[in-house]
Structure 1
Amino acid sequence: MVQRMTKCVICLGVFGFIFLITGCVLIPVLNNYIDSQIKETIPLKEGSDTYNTWLNPPVPIYFQIYVLDLQNPIEVVKHGAKPAFTEKGPYTYREHRQKWQISHFENGTLSYRENRSFVFEREKSSGSHEEKFTTVNLIMVTIAEIIRREYSWIQELVELVLDWGDDSNLFMKLSVKEIMWGYEDPLLKKVKAILQKYVNTTTFDDKFGLFYNQNGSDDGLYTIYSGIKSWENFGMIQLWNKESSLKFWTTRQCNMINGSDGTIFPPFEDKGRTLYIFSSDICRSIYTVYQKPVTLKGIDLMRYAVPPKVFLNHTLNPDNQGFCTPKGVCLPSGLLNVSSCRQGAPVIMSQPHFLAADKEMVQDRVIGLVPDPEQHGTILDVEPKTGVVMNAQKRLQLNVYIRNVSHIRDTANIDHIYYPVIWLNESALIDDKSANKFKNQLLMPIKLTKAAEYGLIVLGAFMLICTAALFIKQKVSSKPEDDLVDVNQCNTNSDRHPILN
């Protein structure tokens, strides 16, 4: 009976040891297998799931517009008062993307263009995009900047044009639809009427809008790494418009094209990694750093955000010296002059509500804007194993610089203002269907694998503990019996001893 029990204890220990070792060995083996499968899956090969998803993203993309409605235009013009704003929005458009002119190359890259079109979504908006709001006359500000350093007779001529009629004011009422997609501008019509007496104006466009002629267009030719040759550079931009660097800025570093377009990244992210993004909207590359863990629709993600250092001026961040344009003209922290890549229009980009901008020189010169990193910062929520972006919120604000310019009467009492016009949130949040598909195809097998690995380890450890406990119990229970046998043997022997008898 004792021998049989001992054999059972030994078998229990042997199997426990085998389960424990097997579980430990499976951890690196299965992890490497899963990683190898991810590396094989991610390349943009025609016909693959990754390629089809990249070609026609199933996740809905929304283009939200918030306008800054000026409340005191008369006070600003007559007394140079701080402009006071009320935010209106969002006015939401569904953004549709269509890639075309796709070419594959033997070096593991592919090129493409991507058309973007926008359709207004009334049910996701706070009102109709036909609603009017008070904003700056962008054409007048542009003309003011152009003539600021011209001869006085040119300035006087422009003044006569501006005074011709009473519709050339510094501020005007426009709808969201008009300022975004274009409207017939009275000032441009005046210029056209004057010019047509001297030149052919058939190609002269008297319409204007911040995104005029961009609905249904693309932002350039991209060449990216497909991941076929190496997963480490998957999605990274090699060329934009057939160029490996930009020509808008004054230093090589600022002209570098780094990272992806922000929709795809290489797999196997970690907290210490920096994610670079090239944005044609601001004509430069920026970067994001790890912020915190988040969970979205049951999926554990890593949140990346743009740090304030990206927007510091050149004195606080020397790396930004090249963004001083024209050369030597540097803006306060939080602002970027993109006129060099916007056909000379005096457009200044920032984060919404002047987040991370210089408080004294920018934020305090307007009323009604309250910067909040949670609402106004650009964020990316990335699944670390695959590099898939599950939630993206790209937020930008369009501003113009208004200052006193001779012969522009409405600027006479204005010192200088960085005037916010609108801010945008281009967002993409994974839907329930895509999230469930991702969990079933990737996360569920990983969880089952982890369960098998650690299940074997726990079971093996438990069996070894039970083996040790049974062995100790067997040893302890056998001692009194052995003592009893020894005593009985002594008694028997003493009975038979001749001397004691």
Structure 2
Amino acid sequence: MKLQRPHKIAIGSIVGFLFIVIFGWVVFPRLIKSQIKNMLALKQGNEIRDMYVKVPFPLTFKVYMFNVTNPLEISEKGAMPIVQEIGPYIYDEWKEKVDTVDDESDDTMEYRIKNTFIFNRAQSGSLTGDEVITMLHPLIAGIAMAVEREKPGALALVNKALTSIYRNPTHPFLTTTVDALLFSGVDIACNVTDFAGKAVCTQLRNEAKDLIEIEPGIFRFSLFGPKNGTIGQKVKVKRGVQNIMDLGQVVEFEGKPKLDMWGSEECNTYGGTDSTIFPPFLKEEDGLVSFAPDICRRLPAYYVENTKYDGISVRRYSADFGDQSKVKAEKCYCPSEDFCYKKGIHDMYKCVGAPFVASLPHFYLSDESYQKGVRGLNPTKDKHEIIILFESLTGSPVFAKKRMQFSLPIHAIPKVTTMANMPDVMMPLFWVEEGVELNRTWTGQLRTLFTTLKVVKVTKWLVLLGTLGGMGGAGYMMYQLQQQSVTITPVHTVNPNDLKNGKNNTISMVAQNGNNIRNGTSVGHVNRAMSTNEIDKY
């Protein structure tokens, strides 16, 4: 039987409707997710694995120094510190993961961190690193504060040692070049012969991580020199092959499945990625949680808003150091059960073995007392907050500014000559910004993906509407055809003479049928033996 045009349109529309619903809303999204999972998993041979192991472009690493302009007034009279920010000193930071080992049984990858810093003179403008600045001496003040914290009975011994090693210092400040502080190093004369000096130098040799012995008894100290181009801490992360949502999750740090320095199980759990990669398909409420090895804690970033980056829809996240003095879940980061820092400060002593603290630059989002304790600070959102612009479908950070300030809390220590009159303040030393901004070479790949998704989205809705319109049109056309196929039988006037002559076939049929009904015969049966005379009986 040949199908009419409306039926053909209806069948085609129904088939198209089912196809676009199944493919556009079921098959294609699953196909995209499957492709993203395969693309992002850190299995050997993947392009993303190669980029993860060795980032193909340098990150921008900026350092801002705080130059102390009134060191003598601070050390002699306990005056409020006045600082002057100098920077940024800009470096190209090349990130690499070395000594990689894969374990397919638990879907993990182990590596060691290697960061290399190269001074970018062009971007640093007029700054060369030869600028002379004055800052609180990290070793003189740091040793005094650490000993008071751990072994206050040894302060008199430490005072003698500092006098010997630093040749009778009159204040706890260091004046040197920026380059020496950051990379080339400041010498420490530990070739002393007195008991106190030798005892402290032995302790430094055994415990200080940032000291390099350049010759017997002579150490060299710098903030980043020992980490520049050297193999550092060991990290083990999930590869995301078996479960993409585990991608980048830290499961071990320095061979330990969890930390052991903080005051609770929750704070000792890594609970985040290594910050260089995140799983895809994250929701806003999931946040971005990463583990920061430099401060030995996880740092959660919270969702702020939706925005755009180079035409790509992204989410904006930010992070801070919370408030261990008020938030119960963060009290595990307090230096002791009896003492917690105020809002915005993270104690690093248990992590690095020195009494430094971390915060946002200029004490942004920290308690006002820290900001007011030092003159010359100007905390602002744009310059000092942590920012991450994150594309959630692929788990790609397209723009990030990780900012952190390092300070040394000080106060008067009567048993240490150089610290006897110091004010009770949080002294800022320097702050850093590690930034990445993907250029069009990298964002172009994301734009291509989203253009494809947009085309598919528009197409599937157009096809869906087209098939619905086709089904509606076919239904209307079939209704029209049905109306045209209905006919009405006309009623004829019968001549009485025709009845006698049996000329009216219609009446004859009726009469015959009527007779058959009385005889119990089916109406549909015609008795062709009946004559016209039999009709006359009626």
Report if TM-score (shorter chain) is over 0.5. Answer: yes
SS in structure 2 at match of 1:150: helix
Cross-structure match for 1:359:
368
What is the match of residue 145 of structure 2? 145
Q: Which residue of 2 aligns with 1:312?
A: 323
Q: CA deviation at 1:45?
A: 1.6
> How many angstroms apart in 1 are the aligned matches of 2:155 and 2:230?
40
8 Å contact kept, 2:237–2:250: yes
Q: Confirm whether residue 24 of structure 1 aligns to residue 26 of structure 2.
A: no
Aligned equivalents of 1:56, 1:375: Cα separation in 2: 29
Pairwise CA distance, 1:424:
0.6
Structure 2 CA distance for aligned equivalents of residues 347 and 334 of structure 1: 14
1:145 Cα shift?
1.9
Q: Give the gaps of 5 or more residues in structure 2.
A: 203-214, 493-538
1:394-415: CA deviation from partner (whole Å, max 9, x where unpaired): 1111101121011444433333
Q: Look up the match of 2:399.
A: 391
Whether 1:429 and 2:433 are equivalent positions in the alignment is no
Q: Where does residue 121 of structure 1 map in the other structure?
A: 120
TM (norm. structure 1) is 0.83
Q: 1:264 aligned to 2:272?
A: no
Residue aligning to 2:349: 339
1 CA distance for matches of 2:272 and 2:254?
Answer: 15
**SS of corresponding position for 2:430:** strand
Please tell me whether residue 455 in structure 1 is matched to residue 465 in structure 2: no
Q: In 1, Cα distance between the equivalents of 2:166 and 2:277?
A: 52
**Correspondence for 1:54:** 52
Residue 483 of structure 1 is matched in structure 2 by none
Measure how far apart 1:346 and its partner are. 1.8
Partners of 2:221 and 2:420 in 1: CA distance: 25
Give how far 1:230 is off. 1.3
Quote how far apart the aligned CAs of 1:439 are.
Answer: 2.9
Q: CA deviation at 1:24?
A: 3.2
Q: Deviations over 1:258-288 (max 9, x none)?
A: 1111111111111121321100111111211
Stretch deviating more after TM superposition (100-109 or 79-88): 79-88
Aligned length: 468
Partner of residue 172, structure 1: 174
> Contact 2:58 / 2:95 at 8 angstroms: preserved in 1?
no
Q: Counterpart of 1:452 in structure 2: which amino acid?
A: T
- Per the alignment, residue 4 of structure 1 pairs with none
Where do 1:39-118 residues align within 5 Å?
Answer: 39-107=37-105, 108-118=107-117
Deviation (angstroms), 1:90: 1.3
**Counterpart-to-counterpart distance in 2, 1:132 and 1:276:** 39
CA apart distance, 1:226 = 0.9
Cα distance, 1:184 vs structure 2: 2.7
How much has 1:56 moved relative to structure 2? 2.2
**CA–CA distance in 2 between the matches of 1:319 and 1:409?**
39
Q: 1:76 to 1:462 in 2, by over 3 A?
A: farther
The higher radius of gyration belongs to 2
1:82-122 CA-partner distances (Å, limit 9, x unpaired): 22222222111111122221111122111111211100001
Give the aligned CA root-mean-square deviation in angstroms: 3.2
User: In structure 2, what is the equivalent of residue 236 of structure 1?
Assistant: 249
Deviations 1:390-437 (A, max 9, x none): 122211111011210114444333331111111111112212211213
Read off the aligned partner of 1:135 and give its amino acid letter. M
Q: Does residue 191 of structure 2 align to residue 192 of structure 1?
A: yes
- Aligned amino acid, residue 46 of structure 1: Q
- CA deviations on 1:313-372 (whole Å, 9 max, x unpaired) are 24x111122212245332222112212222x32211111111221112x12111222223
Distance in 2, Cα, partners of 1:215 & 1:74: 33
Matched position secondary structure for 2:192: helix
Map 1:446-485 → 2, pairs under 5 A: 446-461=453-468
| Cα pair 2:72 2:171 within 8 Å, conserved | no
Of 105-114 and 195-204, the range deviating more from structure 2: 195-204
User: Is the CA contact (8 Å cut-off) linking 2:361 and 2:431 kept in structure 1?
Assistant: yes
Could you list the per-position Cα deviations for residues 286-315 of structure 1 after superposition, in whole angstroms to 9, with x for gaps in the alignment? 211211112212222122211x5x42024x
How far apart, in 2, do the equivalents of 1:285 and 1:198 lie?
A: 38
Quote how far apart the aligned CAs of 1:183 are.
2.4
1:366 partner SS: coil
Aligned partners of 1:102 and 1:110 also within 8 Å: yes
Cα distance in 2 for residues equivalent to 1:262 and 1:90: 23
Partner of 2:258: 245
Which residue is equivalent to 1:498? Answer: none
Query: Match of 1:321?
Result: 331
What is the letter of the counterpart of residue 355 of structure 2?
P
If asked which structure has higher relative contact order (CA below 8 Å, sep 6+), I would say 1
Task: For residue 425 of structure 1, give the secondary structure of its aligned residue in structure 2.
Answer: strand
Match of 2:410 among 402, 406, 414: 402
User: Alpha-carbon deviation of 1:375?
Assistant: 2.4
Quote the Cα distance in structure 1 between the aligned partners of 2:96 and 2:112: 8
Distance 1:154 1:195, change over 3 A: closer
Relative to 1, partners in 2 of residues 1:164 and 1:267: Cα closer, same or farther, differing over 3 Å?
closer
Quote the offset at 1:80 in angstroms: 2.4
5+ unaligned residues in a row in structure 1: which ranges? 1-6, 480-485, 494-501
Match for residue 275 of structure 1 among 264, 276, 288: 288
- For residues 30 and 419 of structure 2, the distance between their equivalents in structure 1, rounded to whole angstroms, comes to 66
* Percent sequence identity over aligned pairs: 23
Query: Secondary structure of the equivalent of 2:282?
Result: coil
**1:224 corresponds to which residue?**
237
SS at the partner of 2:99? strand
Q: How does 1:4-19 map to 2 (within 5 A)?
A: 19=16
Displacement after TM superposition at 1:195 (Å): 5.1
Select the residue among 313, 317, 330 that pairs with 2:340.
330
Q: Relative to 1, partners in 2 of residues 1:413 and 1:168: Cα closer, same or farther, differing over 3 Å? A: closer
- How big is the shift at 1:242? 1.3
Output the CA distance in 1 between the equivalents of 2:181 and 2:257: 33
Cα distance in 2 between the residues matched to 1:468 and 1:413:
94
Measure the CA separation in 1 of the matches of 2:392 and 2:323: 29
Tell me the secondary structure at the aligned position of residue 41 of structure 1: helix
CA distance 1:194–1:388, change in 2 (3 Å): same
Q: What secondary structure sits across from 1:122 in the alignment?
A: coil
Name the TM-score, length of structure 2 as normaliser.
0.78
Give the whole-Å Cα distance in 1 for the aligned partners of 2:158 and 2:31: 72
